[in-house]
């Protein structure tokens, strides 16, 4: 993602001269949409958090309660710690994988990426739930570890380490997806040049490659951190007594206790933390990659500190690697890297693959591997009005979301691709904004807003919420499509006498249809897997498939859940292959 923005801005700048300020108007519908359904509700939440519940007077009580050192402070600290550990884990384990992927030939890379993207598009709920079974006291992993002589192998679940592990597992594909394009852009000749000038391979990597890949690492770090802040599924399913995160408290305050003041205050804390993180990251490592070059590099002292840190780390690692290379030999190191990459990929896929046999069990409860196989849970799924109607609703909502999102994003991307003025940076930021607000905050902010317009517990409400969430990624895909498009073709068609309508149908559409389809599928998938917004806006009355699965986890837990997960997997995989085919050829 990050690379596309940078790439496109330079390209647009290069074209220079030929810009049409009027095209920026095309971003207006999307901008209005985001102001109405993201900015306004967010500020409303802020005002709720400082309003006394009884009198409506201004008060900072809720914030004092959060920061007074008691239970809320502890949860705030916990949340921050878990998110930080998750981020570090994702970068540490994800970086070598992304590096390995970047060194593959283009064909092989696309093929291997499938294995990373499948877990990326599989919902956190499904993956975490599978861990619950796999890592259980009598699960197969425990048995394996116990056989290997590990102590405490039978108590893998319900502790801090497991929560962080499962969260890293959930977020790692996201980190790789963000880091990879940046690495793909690094010119391999640079390493050769360094070699010619006498640098060892390790030095060339750590002093040249590593710093060049930093924008991707920084972007991945920020997005993983922010996504982790609002998490509630993993700590709820796999956490012990102490692993409570802010997201869970928001749900409890709003859904159970109807305390909007405290619930909003916690949400505000989440957003403030997210914004502060963006700011600090930008100062230290430079986030310009995400914000489209906005204003060029800053050269403050913090930034120099960032450079210094990266340089020192690089030197240290280079020395270490040199030692390792002496010990094992360079060829062996390559071999270690690719073994590592495949093992990590296998681990990413493990819970997803394990679900399939679980779904085909004959027993009334979930186990892995099952004793006897049958398809009874699939027929239960197909015969249950609850599950079928939830599935159908998810399809309808996903489709509507996809159409609405692509419509808004296409206009905006067209507008932004064909303009270059001071406002466009701001517009780009606005369209990226849903990414830096945790979904749970979007969900409750919209819940409050929608209650006033009778949109709670309506399908339309869920569609609007999903559109807000799906916009950034869809917009980035379409922006890349239109920026890559050569508009001189339209001019040529016009010169040859084609009417604008004909030009659109015969020239423009055929050229951008891959990007449009990719946008549609991406938006659909975002909606199809989304739980948080569906949970709040659905009001317990409009149940989507992920919500139905969540209810089942809380109410019943039968193998029907695994069967439904397999159905979801099938749908996601199918769409995902369509997406792969539709992806515009890489440049």
Partner 1 sequence: MSAIKGISRRSVLKGASAAAAGLAMPMVWTGNRAFGAERITVSDVGGAVGDAIKQAFYLPFEQETGIQVVGVAHDPDPVTQFKLLVDAKSYIWDVAMVTQDHVVRLTTPDNYLEPLNVPAEEAADLLPGMLTDDWMGFSVFGIVMAYRTDTMSEHPPTGWRDYWDSAAFPGRRGLYKSPWGVLEMALIADGVSPKALYPLDVDRAFAKLDEIRPDVAVWWGSGAQNTQTLQNGEVDLSDTWTSRASTAIASGAPVKIVWDGLYSVDGWSIPAGTPRADLAREFVRFCMRPEQQAIYASLSKNGPSNTKAFEHISPEHAAVMPTAQENFQRLGELDSAWWGENYDAMAERFQEWLLLG
Q: How far apart are CA 97 and CA 235, in angstroms?
A: 26
- The CA-CA-CA angle for residues 31, 223, 99, to 5°, reads 125
| CB of residue 434 to partner 1, shortest distance in Å | 23
- The CA-CA-CA angle for residues 232, 90, 552, to 5°, reads 30
Answer for which of 112, 140, 200, 255 binds partner 1 (CB under 8 A) is 255
Q: Are 224 and 86 in contact (CB under 8 A)?
A: yes
Nearer of residues 140 and 330 to partner 1, judged by Cβ: 140
Can residue 393 be called a binding residue for partner 1 (CB under 8 A)? yes
Nearer of residues 282 and 552 to partner 1, judged by Cβ: 552
State the binding string over 428-467 for partner 1 (x if CB under 8 A, else -): -------------------xx-xxxxxxxxx---------
Piece of 66-74, 331-339, 481-489, 494-502 that binds partner 1 (CB under 8 A): 66-74
| CB of residue 458 to partner 1, shortest distance in Å | 6
Piece of 26-34, 193-201, 252-260, 563-571 that binds partner 1 (CB under 8 A): 252-260
> CA distances (Å), 449 to each of 62, 287, 300, 464, 533, in order?
21, 32, 41, 12, 13
Can residue 55 be called a binding residue for partner 1 (CB under 8 A)? yes
Nearer of residues 244 and 526 to partner 1, judged by Cβ: 244
Answer for which of 19, 93, 158, 395 binds partner 1 (CB under 8 A) is 158
Answer for which of 109, 259, 330, 573 binds partner 1 (CB under 8 A) is 259
Helices (H) and strands (E) in the chain, counts: 28, 0
Q: What is the 3-state secondary structure (H, E, C) of 429-487?
A: HHHHHHHHCCHHHHHHHHHHHHHHCCCCCCHHHHHHHHHHHHHHHHHHHHHHHHHHCCC
Q: Which run of H or of E encompasses 323?
A: helix 301-328
Q: How far apart are CA 450 and CA 461, in angstroms?
A: 7
Q: Are 66 and 266 in contact (CB under 8 A)?
A: yes
Residue 194 backbone dihedrals phi, psi, to 5 degrees: -60, -40
Piece of 16-24, 45-53, 162-170, 415-423 that binds partner 1 (CB under 8 A): 45-53
Piece of 13-21, 53-61, 287-295, 429-437 that binds partner 1 (CB under 8 A): 53-61
Nearer of residues 189 and 383 to partner 1, judged by Cβ: 383
Can residue 279 be called a binding residue for partner 1 (CB under 8 A)? no
Q: Are 222 and 281 in contact (CB under 8 A)?
A: yes
Can residue 261 be called a binding residue for partner 1 (CB under 8 A)? yes
Answer for which of 25, 365, 373, 487 binds partner 1 (CB under 8 A) is 365
Piece of 281-289, 401-409, 520-528, 555-563 that binds partner 1 (CB under 8 A): 555-563
Q: Are 166 and 128 in contact (CB under 8 A)?
A: yes
DSSP classification of residue 22: G
Q: How far apart are CA 484 and CA 417, in angstroms?
A: 9
Nearer of residues 156 and 575 to partner 1, judged by Cβ: 156
Can residue 234 be called a binding residue for partner 1 (CB under 8 A)? no
Can residue 43 be called a binding residue for partner 1 (CB under 8 A)? no
95-154 residues in contact with partner 1 (CB under 8 A) are 133, 136-138
Pairs from 306-312 (Cβ < 8 Å, separation ≥ 24): 307/211, 309/284, 310/210, 310/211, 310/214, 310/285, 311/207, 311/211
Instruction: Please tell me the chain's helix, strand, coil percentages from 3-state DSSP, rounded to the nearest 5.
Output: 80, 0, 20
Can residue 244 be called a binding residue for partner 1 (CB under 8 A)? yes
Can residue 340 be called a binding residue for partner 1 (CB under 8 A)? no
Sorted by sequence, the CB contacts under 8 Å of residue 312 that are 6+ apart come out as none
Nearer of residues 447 and 528 to partner 1, judged by Cβ: 447
Piece of 281-289, 388-396, 410-418, 465-473 that binds partner 1 (CB under 8 A): 388-396
| CB of residue 271 to partner 1, shortest distance in Å | 19
| CB of residue 91 to partner 1, shortest distance in Å | 28
Q: Kindly determine how many residues on this chain lie close enough to bind partner 1 according to the rule CB under 8 A.
A: 66
Crossing angle, helix 124-134 and helix 160-185, to 10 degrees?
A: 130
Can residue 481 be called a binding residue for partner 1 (CB under 8 A)? no
| CB of residue 164 to partner 1, shortest distance in Å | 17
Q: Are 220 and 91 in contact (CB under 8 A)?
A: yes
Can residue 556 be called a binding residue for partner 1 (CB under 8 A)? yes
Can residue 78 be called a binding residue for partner 1 (CB under 8 A)? yes
Can residue 74 be called a binding residue for partner 1 (CB under 8 A)? yes
Can residue 372 be called a binding residue for partner 1 (CB under 8 A)? no
Can residue 554 be called a binding residue for partner 1 (CB under 8 A)? yes
Q: How far apart are CA 355 and CA 388, in angstroms?
A: 20
Nearer of residues 78 and 405 to partner 1, judged by Cβ: 78
| CB of residue 135 to partner 1, shortest distance in Å | 10
| CB of residue 253 to partner 1, shortest distance in Å | 10
Nearer of residues 247 and 306 to partner 1, judged by Cβ: 247
Can residue 70 be called a binding residue for partner 1 (CB under 8 A)? yes
Q: How far apart are CA 385 and CA 271, in angstroms?
A: 39
Nearer of residues 416 and 560 to partner 1, judged by Cβ: 560
Sorted by sequence, the CB contacts under 8 Å of residue 60 that are 6+ apart come out as 50
Piece of 144-152, 181-189, 298-306, 363-371 that binds partner 1 (CB under 8 A): 363-371
Q: How far apart are CA 529 and CA 216, in angstroms?
A: 25
- Measured between its terminal Cα atoms, the distance across the chain in Å is 14
Can residue 84 be called a binding residue for partner 1 (CB under 8 A)? no
Sorted by sequence, the CB contacts under 8 Å of residue 515 that are 6+ apart come out as 477, 478, 480, 481, 482, 582, 584
Can residue 157 be called a binding residue for partner 1 (CB under 8 A)? yes
**Contacting positions for partner 1 (CB under 8 A):** 48, 51-56, 70-71, 74-75, 78, 133, 136-138, 155, 157-158, 236, 240-242, 244, 252, 255-261, 363-367, 385-386, 388-390, 393, 447-448, 450-458, 539-543, 551-557
């Amino acid at each position: 993602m990050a690379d596309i923005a940078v790439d496109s801005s330079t390209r647009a700048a290069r074209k220079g001269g030929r810009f049409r300020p009027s095209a920026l108007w095309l971003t207006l519908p999307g901008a209005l949409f985001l102001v109405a359904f993201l900015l306004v509700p967010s500020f409303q939440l802020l005002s709720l958090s400082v309003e006394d519940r009884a009198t409506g007077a201004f008060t900072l009580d809720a914030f004092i309660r959060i920061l007074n050192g008691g239970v809320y402070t502890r949860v705030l600290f916990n949340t921050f710690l878990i998110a930080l550990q998750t981020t570090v884990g994702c970068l540490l384990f994800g970086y070598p994988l992304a590096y390995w992927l970047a060194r593959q030939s283009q064909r092989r890379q696309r093929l291997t990426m499938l294995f990373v993207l499948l877990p990326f598009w599989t919902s956190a709920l499904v993956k975490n739930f599978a861990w619950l079974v796999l890592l259980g006291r009598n699960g197969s992993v425990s048995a394996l570890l116990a056989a290997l002589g590990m102590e405490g192998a039978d108590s893998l679940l319900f502790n801090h380490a497991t929560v962080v592990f499962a969260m890293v597992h959930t977020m790692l594909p996201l980190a790789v997806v963000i880091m990879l394009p940046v690495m793909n852009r690094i010119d391999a000749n640079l390493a050769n040049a360094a070699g010619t000038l006498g640098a060892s391979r390790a030095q060339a990597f750590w002093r040249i490659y590593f710093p060049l890949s930093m924008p991707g690492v920084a972007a991945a770090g920020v997005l993983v951190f922010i996504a982790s802040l609002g998490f509630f599924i993993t700590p709820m399913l796999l956490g012990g007594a102490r692993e409570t995160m802010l997201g869970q408290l928001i749900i409890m305050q709003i859904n159970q206790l109807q305390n909007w003041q405290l619930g909003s205050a916690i949400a505000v804390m989440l957003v403030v933390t997210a914004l502060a993180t963006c700011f600090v990251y930008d100062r230290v490592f430079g986030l310009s990659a995400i914000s489209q070059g906005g204003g060029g590099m800053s050269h403050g002292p913090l930034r120099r500190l960032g450079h210094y840190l990266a340089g020192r780390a690089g030197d240290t690692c280079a020395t270490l690697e040199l030692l390792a290379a002496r010990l094992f030999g360079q060829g062996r190191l390559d071999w270690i890297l690719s073994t590592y990459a495949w093992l990590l990929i296998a681990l990413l896929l493990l819970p997803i693959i394990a679900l399939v046999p679980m779904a085909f069990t004959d027993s009334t409860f979930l186990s892995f591997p099952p004793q006897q196989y049958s398809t009874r849970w699939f027929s239960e799924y197909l015969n249950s009005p609850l599950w079928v109607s939830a599935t159908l609703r998810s399809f309808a909502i996903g489709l509507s979301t996809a159409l609405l999102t692509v419509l808004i994003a296409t206009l905006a991307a067209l507008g932004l691709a064909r303009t270059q003025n001071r406002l466009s940076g701001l517009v780009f930021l606005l369209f990226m904004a849903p990414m830096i607000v945790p979904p749970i905050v979007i969900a409750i902010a919209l819940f409050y807003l929608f209650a006033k317009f009778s949109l709670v517990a309506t399908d339309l409400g869920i569609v609007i919420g999903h559109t807000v969430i799906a916009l950034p990624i869809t917009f980035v895909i379409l922006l890349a499509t239109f920026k890559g498009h050569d508009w001189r073709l339209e001019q040529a068609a016009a010169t040859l006498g084609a009417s604008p309508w004909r030009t659109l149908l015969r020239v423009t559409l055929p050229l951008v249809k891959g990007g449009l389809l990719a946008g549609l599928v991406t938006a659909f998938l975002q909606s199809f897997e989304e739980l948080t917004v569906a949970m709040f806006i659905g009001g317990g009355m409009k149940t989507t498939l992920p919500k139905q699965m969540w209810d089942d986890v809380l109410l019943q837990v039968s193998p029907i859940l695994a069967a439904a997960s397999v159905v979801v997997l099938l749908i996601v995989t199918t769409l995902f292959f369509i997406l792969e085919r539709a992806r515009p050829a890489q440049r």
